[in-house]
Structure formats: C-alpha cells, structure tokens
C-alpha cells in the first residue's frame, strides 16, 4: 500500500473511531432513561403513588406524596434564599466586574460549584442542626441554597454581560441611578437568561441527596412544617433502593422516574428560553 | 451686595448621589466566597477533637473502629483516589473524542443533538445514577466485565476477587458522571484553537486526522488538562452514586474488583449514627480532608482553564 493510501486509511479509521466513541458516550444516557422509565412506570401509573405516603411492606397503596411536597418546600425555601441574592451578585460581577476583587469572587464562586455537596451537608449540620438541636427542613434548604447560589450568580452574570452597553448608557443619560439601571433596565432585558440560571439551579437542588442526609433527615409521614424533618424525592430513592424489599425498590424506581422527568423537563425548558434570549439579544 | 444678589448663579446639575448599589451588590456577590470560607472554618471546628487526638497520624492510620475510638483515614483516601483516577482513565479518551466531534464544523443539527444529550447526562441526579448502577450496571459489569477479565488475566493480583459492589463499578458510574464536564470544557478549548493553525496544516496537505492529532490536540493540551483536573475534582467529591455501588468495606483494596470505601461514602453512611465526641469528629475530619483536596484541585484547574480561554480569546 502506498503512503497516501495508508494515510487516507488511517484518517478514515480514526474518524470512524471518534464517531464510535461518541456513540459509546451516548449509550449511558439512553440506558439510564430506559431503565428508569421501564422500572418506574408501573409504580407511577397508580394514582396512590402521588396521594399516599409510606406503607409498611406488604400493605398496598404506598405513595410518595410526602416526598413530592417535601421537595417542593425544600427547593422553594432554598430558591427564596438563593435566587434574589444570586441575581444581585451576578449583576455586580457583570456591571462592576473589572475590579481585581471581582476576579477573586468569580474564582471562589466557581470553586464553590465544585465543592462536594456532602461537605456542605456537614457544614449546615454544624451551623444549624447542632444549634437548633434537631433536624429540620430549614436546615436542608439552607444547604440547598448554598449549592444553588453559585449557579444563579454565574448564569446571571453571563446573561447580563450579553446586554449591549447602549441600554446602560441611555438609562444613565436619563439620570437614573445605577441601581435602577441595573435592576429595572438590565435585569428585565436579560430576564430569559436570568430565569434560565434560576431554573438550572432549581433542577440541581431538586436532585441533590447528600446535603439533605444530615440536615432534613427524611420523614415517613406527610408533613409541611419546615421546622421539622421533611421527606424529599432523592432521599426516597436512596433509602428505598437500599432496602431488600421489592415493593420499596419499585417505589424507589418510581420516585427516580418522577425526579428524572422533573429535572430533564426543567433543563429542556431553560435551554429553549436561553436560545430565545441569545436571538433577542442579537436584535438589541 | 445688591448687585451680587441680582446676578443669577448658573444652576449646576444636581450632584449624582453616591453609588450605594455598588456596595450592596458587592456584598451579595461576596456571599458565595464567604460561604466557602465558612464551610472550611466550620469543618475545622467540628473536626477539632479528632484533629487534637490523632494529629497527622489520622491520615496514615488504617483502622476504623468506633468501639475502640481508633480512626485512620488511609483506606478511604486510597479508595477515593483510586476510584477517581480509574474513572478519569475510562472517561478521558471518550470525552476528548466527543469534544473533537462536537468542535468540528458542519452538520450543526446533529452536533447540537449530541451536545444536548451529553449535557443532559450532567443534569441527571446522582441518586438516579446510583439506583441504575446498583440494579443494572453493577450486576451486568460483574458478569460480563469483572469475572471474564479476572479469569482471563490468570491470577494477576490487582484483577482478582471480583465483587458486584466494587471499586471498578463505582468508577464506571463516575466515568459516566464526569463525562459532560470533560466534554464541555475540551470542546470549548478545541474551538478556541486559532483557525490559522488548522488551515496551515490542511494547506500543507495534512489529512483531517493528522490535523487533529498533530496540530489541534497538542495546542489544546493545556486546556484539556484543565478539564481533566476539573473532572477529577467532581469525581473525588461525588457521594451518593458511589456509596450505592462501592461496597462499603473499610480496607485498603488490593484489587480494583474488590469492595472498597471512599471519604464521601463513609460520611454519608455513618455520620447520622455516629455517637460520642471522637467518632463524629473523625468523620468530619474525613470531610475536611475531602474538601481541602477538592479545593486545591478545583482552584488549580480553574486558574488553568481561565488563563487558557483568556489567551485564546485575545489571540483570536
């Protein structure tokens, strides 16, 4: 075989290999989705799954309503804590972010994104649970808020940075103070990007288990009181999956299915919102 | 006097009030870094009793016995490092291959779908990977990977003793979980390679593969390294999925197919049941070791990636 033919053959094989490896990378996503749906759907198809709570093994009609409501309360409280602070913080980094100080803040924020969530759980245990002398939903939502905050900050910054300077300058030229320009002109203009960040943070928080283990603890009963223990969907999956009982394992798969649908739904919606934002910002 | 009073002073523009928003917003932005510092300080405080009692010996101790109050971190440290590096070895070739494919020109729609799918991998909660790994991946891998490899290797020590819940299976899940991090950053770095370099190679008659292997990947090397380190940080700190399949065995493993333990898994499994003073403190100290290692790893990786993306932006 001559040299050119060999080079061409190597080129073709390598290209093929790259595409095969890409396919290999997509296999796990397909498998996770397939098994979650196949194993979870039978549980989810019963209405009791959404209206009832824990039943002992052998008694029919078990459900995860406590976990659904608990996740809603935990993530809702965490959002109230993290999203406003995160948006204002992100505006700061985008509007005043040339300072050396801001570069450090940005780096530390990115480091916080990669901090093990179990360590955040230990921190909130020491900070809240030890002082209050009992586990609580509030403690869990503080832990989730710490995880959400850096995501909101960085996506808000990205969205605000896309807004052209002309808008800022017209606001300032009209004599508006800086805070009104930022919060009443820039943030609304960047709203889709900001909302995307908030949604992604909500999705991340809804799926977290590790920071809830030592803070919210879990609860087999139906409860809406965040000053006491609450159940959450990820906790249900974790606790039930590790039991030896088929009926509880089925519940775990069902809860996993609900969780995956929620998280993927939020992700796909936010993706769509973001694409619109980029197109709109291009027209400004 | 009267004349001076008659002369109208030119009205000066109202003075702009000081920009207080700057400080309020700055304070909001500082909450995240402050949280990071507080986490470390708080863990130091909680781990206090163990730090005093064991000193540096904690890091090299191999015993974990709550009854005798004897604690050492080495088996968990070894398990954490081993799973993370094994996961990296499995994910790196695939991650870079996907990044190369995604960074290519043309076929925008197909690449968009692949890119979205890979990013969705990052969105799936850890606990869902955990239940999938526990009931699907680990049994399959035990039967079709671990046992055959172990049998055919002819008794090599580090491939012996296959178990369903093993270090290897934990690494498999971790590899899937860190793939999106690897791919996203590598893709951006590869896209950032100046077009001129690629065009020069093509003009000299290099094939697509020669351009990629000898020109693009070498100049994206540092960025891919940064992505790798960042993925390593994620792998070190991952808790729930690993806890569900690693087997929870507090021994330094001799084979990758044996059950083992990681820092995060020990904490997840034992913290709520830990009583006394020294036992919980020892668990928090494991968390402290974990967070300090991931802080150093993430910090280094981010500085590297930021420097590279800034350079490629200024040269583009």
**Selected residues 96-155 of chain B with any CB under 8 Å from a CB in chain A:** 97-98, 100-101, 114, 116-121, 123-132, 134-137
A74 to chain B, closest Cα gap in Å? 16
Provide the token pair at A8. 């061409």
Task: Tell me how far apart the alpha carbons of residues B19 and A41 are, in angstroms, rounded to a whole number.
Answer: 56
Residue from A150, A265, A147 nearest A209 by CA: A147
Nearest CB among B28, B131, B209 relative to A252 is that of B131
Q: Which CATH superfamily is domain B71-265+297-315 in?
A: MetI-like (1.10.3720.10)
What is the average pLDDT value for chain B, to the nearest integer?
A: 88
What integer pLDDT is reported at residue A281 of this predicted model?
66
Question: How many percent of chain B have pLDDT more than 90?
Answer: 45
What number is the average pLDDT over the span B245-263?
Answer: 91
Task: Tell me how far apart the alpha carbons of residues A248 and A175 are, in angstroms, rounded to a whole number.
Answer: 63
What integer pLDDT is reported at residue A238 of this predicted model?
94
ipTM of the complex: 0.92
Give the pLDDT confidence of A99-132 residue by residue, as tens digits. 788 888 899 999 999 899 999 999 999 999 999 9
Please identify which residue in the block is written with the tokens 């027209």: A283
User: Structural domain boundaries of chain A?
Assistant: 50-283
Give the pLDDT confidence of B118-153 residue by residue, as tens digits. 888 989 999 999 999 999 999 999 999 988 888 888
Query: Which chain B positions have a beta carbon within 8 Å of A109's beta carbon?
Result: 29, 32-33
Confidence grade of residue B1 (pLDDT, cut at 50, 70, 90):
very low
What integer pLDDT is reported at residue B316 of this predicted model?
47
State the burial class of residue A56 (Cβ atoms within 10 Å of its Cβ: 0-12, 13-18, 19+).
Answer: exposed
What integer pLDDT is reported at residue B10 of this predicted model?
67
**Selected residues 209-228 of chain A with any CB under 8 Å from a CB in chain B:** 209-210, 213-214, 217
Shortest CA distance from B94: residue in chain A: A21
User: Structural domain boundaries of chain B?
Assistant: 71-265+297-315
What number is the average pLDDT over the span B237-249?
Answer: 93
Q: Which of residues A220 and A233 earns the better pLDDT score?
A: A233
What number is the average pLDDT over the span A143-172?
Answer: 91
Shortest CA distance from A154: residue in chain B: B29
Query: Which chain B positions have a beta carbon within 8 Å of A108's beta carbon?
Result: 32-33, 36
Whole-prediction pTM: 0.90
Do B291 and B75 meet the contact criterion of CB atoms below 8 Å apart?
no
Give the pLDDT confidence of A37-52 residue by residue, as tens digits. 999 999 888 888 888 8
Confidence grade of residue A283 (pLDDT, cut at 50, 70, 90):
low
CB contact under 8 A, A234 and B22: no
B5 to chain A, closest Cα gap in Å? 31
Confidence grade of residue A1 (pLDDT, cut at 50, 70, 90):
low
Shortest CA distance from B301: residue in chain A: A111
Residue from B236, B241, B244 nearest B263 by CA: B236
Give the pLDDT confidence of A126-156 residue by residue, as tens digits. 999 999 998 999 999 999 999 999 999 999 9
Q: Which CATH superfamily is domain A50-283 in?
A: MetI-like (1.10.3720.10)
| Contact with chain A for residue B228, Cβ under 8 A | no
Query: Any idea what DSSP says for residue A214?
Result: T
């Amino acid at each position: 075989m001559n040299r050119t033919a060999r080079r061409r053959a190597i080129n073709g094989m390598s290209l093929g290999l790259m595409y095969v490896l890409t396919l290999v990378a997509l296999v796990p996503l397909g498998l996770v989705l397939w098994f979650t749906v196949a194993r979870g759907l039978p549980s989810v198809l019963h209405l009791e799954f959404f209206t009832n709570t824990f039943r002992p093994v052998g008694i029919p009609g078990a459900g995860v309503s406590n976990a659904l409501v608990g996740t809603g309360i935990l993530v809702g409280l965490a959002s109230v804590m993290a999203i406003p602070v995160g948006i204002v913080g992100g505006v700061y980094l985008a509007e005043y972010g040339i300072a050396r100080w801001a570069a450090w803040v940005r780096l530390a924020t990115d480091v916080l994104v990669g901090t093990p969530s179990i360590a955040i759980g230990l921190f909130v245990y020491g900070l809240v649970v030890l002082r209050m002398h009992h586990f609580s939903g509030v403690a869990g939502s503080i832990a989730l808020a710490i995880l959400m905050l850096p995501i909101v900050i960085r996506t808000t910054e990205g969205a605000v940075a896309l807004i052209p300077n002309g808008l800022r300058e017209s606001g300032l030229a009209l004599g508006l103070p800086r805070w009104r320009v930022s919060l009443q002109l820039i943030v609304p203009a960047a709203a889709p990007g900001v909302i995307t960040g908030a949604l992604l943070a909500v999705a991340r928080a809804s799926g977290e288990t590790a920071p809830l283990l030592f803070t919210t603890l879990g609860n087999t009963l139906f409860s809406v009181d965040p000053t006491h223990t609450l159940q959450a969907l990820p906790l249900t999956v974790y606790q039930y999956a590790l039991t030896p009982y088929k009926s509880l394992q089925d519940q775990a798969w069902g809860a996993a299915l609900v969780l995956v649908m929620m998280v993927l739904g939020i992700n796909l919606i936010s993706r769509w919102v973001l694409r619109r934002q980029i197109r709109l910002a291009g027209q400004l | 006097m009267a004349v001076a009073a008659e002369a109208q002073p030119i009205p000066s523009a109202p003075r702009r009030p000081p920009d207080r928003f700057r400080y309020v917003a700055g304070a909001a932005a500082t909450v995240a870094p402050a949280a990071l510092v507080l986490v470390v300080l708080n863990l130091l405080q909680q781990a206090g009793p163990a730090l005093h009692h064991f000193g540096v010996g904690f890091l090299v101790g191999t015993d974990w016995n709550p009854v005798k109050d004897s604690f050492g971190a080495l088996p968990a440290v070894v398990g954490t490092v081993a799973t993370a590096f094994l996961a990296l070895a499995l994910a790196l070739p695939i991650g870079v291959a996907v990044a190369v494919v995604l960074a290519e020109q043309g076929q925008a729609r197909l690449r968009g779908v692949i890119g979205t799918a890979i990013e969705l991998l990052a969105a799936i909660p850890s606990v869902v990977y955990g239940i999938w790994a526990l009931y699907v991946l680990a049994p399959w891998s035990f039967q079709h990977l671990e046992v055959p490899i172990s049998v055919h290797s002819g008794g090599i020590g580090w491939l012996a003793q296959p178990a369903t819940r093993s270090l290897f299976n934990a690494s498999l899940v971790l590899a899937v979980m860190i793939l999106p991090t690897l791919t996203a950053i590598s893709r951006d770095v590869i896209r950032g390679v100046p077009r001129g370099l690629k065009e020069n190679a093509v003009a000299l008659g290099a094939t697509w593969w020669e351009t990629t292997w000898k020109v693009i990947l070498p100049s994206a090397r540092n960025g891919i390294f940064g992505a790798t380190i960042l993925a390593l940080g994620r792998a070190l700190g991952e808790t729930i999925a690993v806890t569900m399949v690693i087997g929870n065995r507090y021994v330094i493993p001799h084979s990758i197919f044996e059950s083992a333990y990681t820092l995060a898994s020990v904490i997840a499994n034992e913290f709520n049941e830990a009583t006394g003073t020294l036992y919980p403190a020892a668990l928090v100290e494991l968390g402290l070791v974990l967070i300090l290692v991931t802080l150093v790893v993430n910090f280094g990786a981010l500085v590297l990636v930021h420097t590279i993306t800034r350079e490629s932006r200024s040269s583009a």
